[in-house]
Structure 1
C-alpha cells in the first residue's frame, strides 16, 4: 500500500483566522521553575472542541457532519484562561484509534525531530507542531499511549495526567475508561506550568517517593539499543533521589495475571468501548478506513458481552494491584520499545504494536499519571524515558524529573 503523503501538522479546512500565526516562542528556556503560559501558542488535537470550529476526529465523513463547536472543551478553556493563545487544530489518526501517526485520508504529519520517521499517534499533528516550533503547548489525548508515543518519537516532554483529573468534557470519546486530555511541550518548565493550569483544584498525591521501580519484565519489552541508552539513566534516578532501586518484575507473583494477559485485557476493554462509541456510526455510514484501523474496528465489533465483562474484572484487579505496587514508588520504563519507525513502513506491525502496548497499557490499566522525558538518542533518533506514579502523583513526577538532569541523565 502506498504510504499516505507527508503533510503539515495543522488541519487545512479551518478559516484563515484560526490558522497558525507567528508569535514569540514562550517558555523556551530549559530551566527548573515555573514559566508563564502568557502568549504560549496552543495546538489542539482535532478530537477536542474549539469554539466555532468543527471537530473532525480524523475522518472526512465525521468532519462533513460536524457543526461548529458551541464552546471550548474544558481543557482548552483552562489553558486559554492561563494565558495560552490558540494556534490551530492539528491532525489526528482516524478516530484516534492508532499509535502509528498516519491517516489514510489526510496523510502523515512529518516528524521535525526525526526526518523520514513517523511522529507516532494518535496525537500526531500536535506532536509535529510542537516539535517543529509551530506551537509551544500541544493539547492532545492519551488512551493507550497517544501522547507518550509521539513524545518519545519526537523528542518532547509529554504528560498523561491521572485519569479523571483533567476534565474530558468537549472531547470526542474513544475508550472513556482510559481517555484523558494530555500535554506536549519542548521544555519541562512549560509542561509544569501547563499541567498546573490543566489540573488546578483537583486532588493530588504529594507523598514522598520511597523507591524507584525498574521492573525486568517491562524493560524486556524494549529493543537492545533502547535499553542500553535508557537504563543507565533510570538507574541513576534512585541515587539522585536517595531511594533504592527495585528491579523485580512488576507482574510478579501475586499479580492478578501475567503481563501479556494484562495487555490483552486492556486491549479488549478498549475495543469494546471504541465500538460502543463509534460502532453505530460505522454501521450506519459505512466509512472507509485505513487497513490497520479497519482491522481493529472489525475485532472490536466481535467483542462479546461475556468477554468484555471478564476483561473488565481483570482490569479492576490490575488497577488495585498497580496502586499497591506504586504506593510511594515511581516506575521508570522506556516510553517506547524503539525509536520512531521509518515513514512508509507498515508500522506498528502486529509484533511491534504488541511490544508498544505492553509498555503503554500500564498507565491506562491503573489510571496512572505518566511523564515522558526526552533523555536519549538511539542511532541519532529521540527516545523517551517514562516515569509513572500512583494516581494523583502528577506533580510529584514533574518535581522528580529535574533529578535526572542533576544526575547527568537528561538528554
Structure 2
C-alpha cells in the first residue's frame, strides 16, 4: 500500500484472517497501534515499548470481532505517544499528514486511523478515546466519529492510558458505515423515544456565533424540538475540565509509571511532563476531582431521564498548524478539553459528524444517556448531515 500520509506503522506485513462473508464485508480496517494483532508488535507510539513488545500471538477481542464480521485488516496505525495527546504528533514515528489540509495537525491520539480513513486507505478506523482521541481527529478530518458508552466494548488486548476514561471507538466516512459497525459489535437497536435536543447556552457562548446559528438552523429544519438550558450542570466547564485533567493525569501516571521510571529519556518532553504532573498530585486533589466527577455524572443521569440529547460543537476553536509552537498546541488542547471532557466524566456516548450544509469544516456532536448510542445515530440521520 502506498502511504504518503504516514498513517500506518512501518511494520512488515503479516497475514491476518477475516470472515469471508459478514455485515462488514468489503470494509477495510485500520487498527490503532494500541490494540494487539497477532503477527504484529504493539508499540503504543513509543520506541522502548516497541523494542520490548515482541510479535503478538493473539488478537484483541474487539479487533477479532470486527474481522469476524468480514472486515479486512490493512495495517496498524500511528498514534500519539502512549495515546497521551490530542495533537497527532509523535517524536519517534512522525506526525501523519492531514489529507484535507496538510498544513494543519491531523488531531490525535488516533491520528493514523483518522488519516487512513480520510485518505481513502481504509473504511473503518479503530482507535481509542480517553480525552477526545476519536472525536477530535474525526472533527479535524471531516469524519464520523463514535465514542461508545464507557465499558460497553471489550478492552482486552488494549494498552491503557486512563482506564476509567478509556473507550475503544471508531471513525468512518459515512453514517451508514457507522450503523453497520454498531450492529457488528453488538449495540442494541434504538428505542426512539427522543423528546428533544438540548442547546446549552454556556457551551455555545464559547464558540463562534456563525457555528451556533448554523447548528440551530439545522435543528429547526429537521423539525426536532429544541430546548435551551443555561448550563449542563452545577459546575462550570472550567471546573469540569480541571477535574477531568486531574483524574486523567493520575491514571496516566499509574498506567505508565514503569516505563517512565525505567526510560524517562525515551518519552517526548511534553508527555513526560504531564506524566510527572500526575505523579505529584496529592490524595486530596484526586479525591476532590473524583467527587466532582461523581456529582456531575449524577446530574447528567437526571438530565437524560427526559430522553433528551445534548447537541454541541465538537471543537471550541480551529486546529493549529502542524508547525505551530508548543504553546499553541497546549492552548488548543486546553480549550477543547472543556467540551471533550463531558463524555469522559459522565461515561456517556458521543457521536461526532461533519455539518455538511456549511461551507466550512464544522463538526457537530450529540451527547446522550449511557447505552443510548443508537439513539444518537438515529438523531444524526434525521439531521441529514451527509
TM-score by length of 2: 0.92
What is the rounded CA distance, in whole Å, between the counterparts of 2:78 and 2:377 in structure 1?
27
Is the 2:196–2:308 Cα contact (8 Å) retained in structure 1?
yes
What is the rounded CA distance, in whole Å, between the counterparts of 1:324 and 1:126 in structure 2?
35
1:384-395 to 2 correspondences below 5 Å? 384-395=363-374
What is the rounded CA distance, in whole Å, between the counterparts of 1:231 and 1:371 in structure 2?
20
| Closer/same/farther in 2, CA of residues 47 and 239 from structure 1, 3 Å limit | same
What is the rounded CA distance, in whole Å, between the counterparts of 1:330 and 1:302 in structure 2?
38
Which of 271, 282, 300 is the aligned partner of 2:278? Answer: 300
Aligned to 1:107: 94
What is the rounded CA distance, in whole Å, between the counterparts of 2:192 and 2:35 in structure 1?
33
| Closer/same/farther in 2, CA of residues 220 and 354 from structure 1, 3 Å limit | farther
In the alignment, structure 1 segments of 5+ residues that lack a partner are: 1-5, 20-34
Is the 2:199–2:226 Cα contact (8 Å) retained in structure 1?
no
What is the rounded CA distance, in whole Å, between the counterparts of 1:377 and 1:282 in structure 2?
46
Which of 386, 395, 398 is the aligned partner of 2:377? Answer: 398
Which of 71, 83, 89 is the aligned partner of 1:84? Answer: 71
Displacement of 1:294: 2.3
Aligned to 1:62: 49
Which of 347, 350, 354 is the aligned partner of 2:330? Answer: 350
| Closer/same/farther in 2, CA of residues 295 and 232 from structure 1, 3 Å limit | same
Displacement of 1:204: 7.3
Is the 1:152–1:336 Cα contact (8 Å) retained in structure 2?
yes
Aligned to 1:335: 314
Q: What's the CA shift string for 1:213-250, capped at 9, x where partnerless?
A: 1111122333x2xx413542345325625423224221
What is the rounded CA distance, in whole Å, between the counterparts of 2:98 and 2:90 in structure 1?
14
Which of 232, 256, 271 is the aligned partner of 1:250? Answer: 232
In the alignment, structure 2 segments of 5+ residues that lack a partner are: 17-21
Is the 1:230–1:376 Cα contact (8 Å) retained in structure 2?
no
| Closer/same/farther in 2, CA of residues 355 and 54 from structure 1, 3 Å limit | same
RMSD across aligned C-alpha pairs, in angstroms? Answer: 2.1
SS in 1 for 2:112: helix
| Closer/same/farther in 2, CA of residues 231 and 82 from structure 1, 3 Å limit | farther
How many residue pairs match? The answer is 376
SS in 2 for 1:213: strand
Is the 2:34–2:44 Cα contact (8 Å) retained in structure 1?
yes
Q: Bigger CA drift: 104-113 or 141-150?
A: 104-113
Displacement of 1:158: 0.5
Aligned to 2:12: 15
1:361-400 to 2 correspondences below 5 Å? 361-376=341-356, 382-400=361-379
SS in 2 for 1:146: coil
Residue 340 of structure 2 corresponds to residue 360 of structure 1: yes
| Closer/same/farther in 2, CA of residues 173 and 403 from structure 1, 3 Å limit | same
Is the 1:111–1:117 Cα contact (8 Å) retained in structure 2?
yes
What is the rounded CA distance, in whole Å, between the counterparts of 1:273 and 1:204 in structure 2?
33
SS in 2 for 1:108: coil
What is the rounded CA distance, in whole Å, between the counterparts of 2:247 and 2:211 in structure 1?
33
What is the rounded CA distance, in whole Å, between the counterparts of 2:80 and 2:161 in structure 1?
12
SS in 1 for 2:383: helix
Which of 194, 201, 215 is the aligned partner of 2:200? Answer: 215
Q: Bigger CA drift: 87-96 or 72-81?
A: 72-81
What is the rounded CA distance, in whole Å, between the counterparts of 1:247 and 1:353 in structure 2?
26
Which of 189, 211, 217 is the aligned partner of 1:229? Answer: 211
TM-score by length of 1: 0.86
Which of 98, 122, 144 is the aligned partner of 2:131? Answer: 144
Residue 269 of structure 2 corresponds to residue 291 of structure 1: yes
| Closer/same/farther in 2, CA of residues 355 and 383 from structure 1, 3 Å limit | same
SS in 2 for 1:196: helix
Is the 1:58–1:94 Cα contact (8 Å) retained in structure 2?
yes
